Chain A
Amino acid sequence: KAGVTQTPRYLIKTRGQQVTLSCSPISGHRSVSWYQQTPGQGLQFLFEYFSETQRNKGNFPGRFSGRQFSNSRSEMNVSTLELGDSALYLCASSLGRAARDGYTFGSGTRLTVV
């Protein structure tokens, strides 16, 4: 079966712009989580959606938002981009209980803010 698909793979944006990243989970997975990965901070949890509802949220500013659609696909949006938002953004899906089942990760979207 198809894995977790993230698009686009690479993005270059200018400070102040906004960006939308997309994630298609494994078929049948209803939970989608997003992580930011940077060399300095490692993997940091952004948020988790389950059945179109945000179920869990990390400690990020309100510029970071997300949503999930009825087909479980998810998008995350970052507004007013800052240089420090440059990172690998990883989407991960699970059946429903990520803490117990673990995640299947996508390959990530590499965002560079200039």
Chain B
Amino acid sequence: AQSVTQPDIHITVSEGASLELRCNYSYGATPYLFWYVQSPGQGLQLLLKYFSGDTLVQGIKGFEAEFKRSQSSFNLRKPSVHWSDAAEYFCAVGADGNEKLTFGTGTRLTIIP
């Protein structure tokens, strides 16, 4: 069965600083990988997804993620964070034949001025 680990429960960064959120997955074959963002009291919004091809994926709001098969990782990055990026971020994995996504426990991002 697939699984996702987000090792950082909470991260605090200064506005304008760079950001990297970690995600490690476990799955035997090539997975489908996603990053979602959730603002308080809201649903989840898709930031970006990877299922094949170029291992560097561009998403909305200036985010990007890199798939590294050798490290089983799909880390999310942003060169310069804005106060509006404060939210909870979820990594998710999917697999053919199992039509659901498995989510990590999330990383809460706090932005300080």
Contact = CB atoms under 8 A, between A and B. Distances in A.
What size tier do the contact residues of chain B reach?
A: 20 to 34
What size tier do the contact residues of chain A reach?
A: 20 to 34
Interface of A is mostly: strand
Given A108-B42, A108-B43, A110-B41, A102 B101 contact: yes
A108 B43 CA distance: 6
A11 interface: no
Interface stretch (B13-21, B60-68, B71-79, B90-98): B90-98
B53 to A, nearest CB: 13
Interface stretch (A12-20, A40-48, A60-68, A69-77): A40-48
21 contacts: A42-B105, A42-B106, A43-B106, A45-B101, A48-B99, A50-B99, A56-B98, A56-B100, A98-B99, A98-B100, A99-B95, A99-B99, A99-B101, A100-B96, A102-B92, A106-B43, A107-B42, A107-B43, A108-B41, A108-B42, A108-B43
